[in-house]
Structure 1
Amino acid sequence: MLVSLIAALTVVPALLVASAPAGSAPPAGGTLVAKIYATREGLVGWKTANGHTIKKRDWFAALPSWRALNDRGEGDRSVRVCHEGNDRCVFLPVWDVGPWNTKDDYWAEDRHMWDELPRGKPQAQAAYQDDHNDGEDEFGREVRNPAGIDIADGAFWDGLGLTDNAWVHVTYLWTGAGDRGEVDTDGEWLRVRSAPKVKASLRGGAGDYARLPIRCQVKGDKVEGTVRTTDLWNRVGDGIYVSHAYVRLLDGAKPRKC
């Protein structure tokens, strides 16, 4: 199994790091939102910590704790990642462990390790910026960037539209409540649109198996999908929608009308 400690991303809570750009993303069904500096995972052809073989332009995320890892083909622990610079968001299942650490569940109220650090601050960030643990990770390696999340290539390039490292907002969706749906696209990524129309502007995407916070539903263009044919669209954030044709409702969810 691969623990993706090579690729690097930076998780930086907005209230904790003065160098982070101002602004915050709206809540998306999770109680914790952290400011993140992101890089892509890469490593095409390698296996993730849950046994998934990384594809070209893949769609998943990695977090530095085994406690966040889903089994292959599952998405109970998913994240929403938004880039305010181009107003795009992606929804991703956590399928790998890293970067840097493997026991740093910095989003948890009761951390597995490094409990002297505030919630929402990755140990790698503290090591890089504040010389925490003498500037080293849990393996005694010098931390060379404040990474706290990895994003697979497809989500990084095609979903967020990034070409280089960038500050993003991450919502840890399992830390909140509300109606949920799971993406079922038979391996493809689901387009996130600015309106409930198939030709509305692209605002990001969602990986297969990702969990979505469904705020409400509205009628729009009719779509024939892998789950059903329907004109219903799910609003999954402020001004962003996905077709319900590719979403399975979970836990008896009954979304309200927008």
Structure 2
Amino acid sequence: MSVHPTRRRTTTAVLSALAVLGLAAAAPSALADDSARSTRVAAGPVSWSAALDEVDADDANVRWTDGALRLRGTTLRAASAEGTRGHGTQVLAAEKLDKQVNRVRAELSGTVPEGTVLVDVRGRAADGSWTEWREATGAEAVLPRTVRTVQARLTFQDPKGEARVSGLRLTASRGAEQPGRERAGAAAFSAQVFATREGLVGGTTANGHVIQPNDHFVALPSRRGLSPNGSGDFSVEVCGPVRCETAPVWDVGPWNTRDDYWNPSAERESFQDLAQGMPESQAAYETGYNGGKDGSGRTVLNPAGIDLADGTFYNIGLNDNGWVTVTYLWTGAAK
């Protein structure tokens, strides 16, 4: 799989508390390395404004025009979950900070009807691993661990094409650690789940990838583990009757869009009364959980917890939908 090169655009973090104290001049030069930066202790939150006008290859169905970010069109929807039309995404440049943070708040400006634009954030640790995405729309996002690099993603769910985002300001700080977040030495989590073939060649995934014949990727029912287009930041190992394959998570679905069932129950975004490793769709299909319906109110017709692109589906030895073992490679000690 090709991986987009790291984008070079950056914005400048503003350490407002330092400026008030008159200490900004003591900051090391921009050429200081990470080890030098790591010795700095900055008080107060860190704030910066995102560069929304830079739309590039890992963004989908959005454009910057007349001073605002908006959808290019309203017909696109994420393929696997058959979600609402008016889908689009922008993955912003990662912001390198001068302090450790684990909480991020997002403030959108412009004309943004409620629910039409969601902001997710994730953090990258010193070892290069990313945390899962956490939603920061309307509430402070709490990351699973402290980080020095933060990245934001905008997701449009705007079937009428009304949203006009003129600005995004992010504020990061460090708060109390949440118990149980660090799992030193823990292996990546694995579960046996029902897999379906996504197909849908020519459709577009939740990260903007146009599905090709014999494609290799998977869909999981949560944005928390969605890789940017072309990257393998979040990947799974999926094992079928013949072999295993490692494939990136490039779509959201099947059935649900807020069901990160690979996380411990207390950390799941939704359906926290289900056991870790139990997709909501499987519980709905097998036991009538949630009245036998998914999170959108549709009657669940199979217990699928993962969708496989055609190339992955056939490569692991499936000829029909069936049970597979999936390892969520970003989980465990470096989640």
Same fold (TM over 0.5): yes
Contact 1:79 1:173 in 2 (8 A): yes
The correspondence for 1:146, drawn from 273, 284, 303, is 303
The count of aligned residue pairs is 153
Structure 2 gaps, min length 5:
1-76, 83-185
Shift of 1:122: 0.2
**By how many angstroms is 1:30 displaced?**
4.4
2:80 matched to which residue of 1?
A: 4
Aligned in 2, Cα 1:114/1:152: closer, same or farther, shift over 3 Å? same
RCO comparison, higher one (Cα < 8 Å, 6+): 1
CA distance in 2, matches of 1:91, 1:81: 6
Q: CA deviation at 1:162?
A: 1.6
Unaligned runs of 5+ in 1: 7-28, 179-258
Which residue number corresponds to residue 92 of structure 1? 247
1:113 has 2:270 as partner: yes
Q: How far is the alpha carbon of 1:165 from its aligned partner?
A: 1.6
Deviation track 1:115-134 (CA, whole Å, cap 9, x = no partner) reads: 01011100000000111110
Q: Say if 1:30 and 1:174 are closer, same or farther in 2 by CA, change over 3 A.
A: farther
Which structure: larger Rg?
A: 2
* Aligned residues of 1:30 and 1:171 also touching (Cα < 8 A): no
Query: Displacement, 1:38?
Result: 1.5
Q: Give % identity.
A: 56
In the other structure, the counterpart of 1:170 is 326
Structure 2: how far apart are the matches of 1:73 and 1:31? 23
Q: Please, what TM-score do these two structures have when normalized by structure 1?
A: 0.57
Structure 1, residues 80-120: CA drift from partner, whole Å, max 9, x if none?
0012x33x001000000000000000011200000010111
Q: CA contact under 8 A between 2:78 and 2:204: conserved in structure 1?
A: yes
Match of 2:217 among 60, 71, 84: 60
Aligned residue identity for 1:147: A
Distance in 2, matches of 1:96 and 1:73, equals 12
Preserved contact between residue 218 and residue 306 of structure 2 (Cα < 8 Å)? yes
1:3 to 1:43, Cα distance in 2 relative to 1, 3 A: closer
Pair 1:102 & 2:257 matched: yes
TM-score, normalized by length of structure 2? 0.44
Distance 1:33 1:5, change over 3 A: same
Q: CA RMSD in A?
A: 1.5
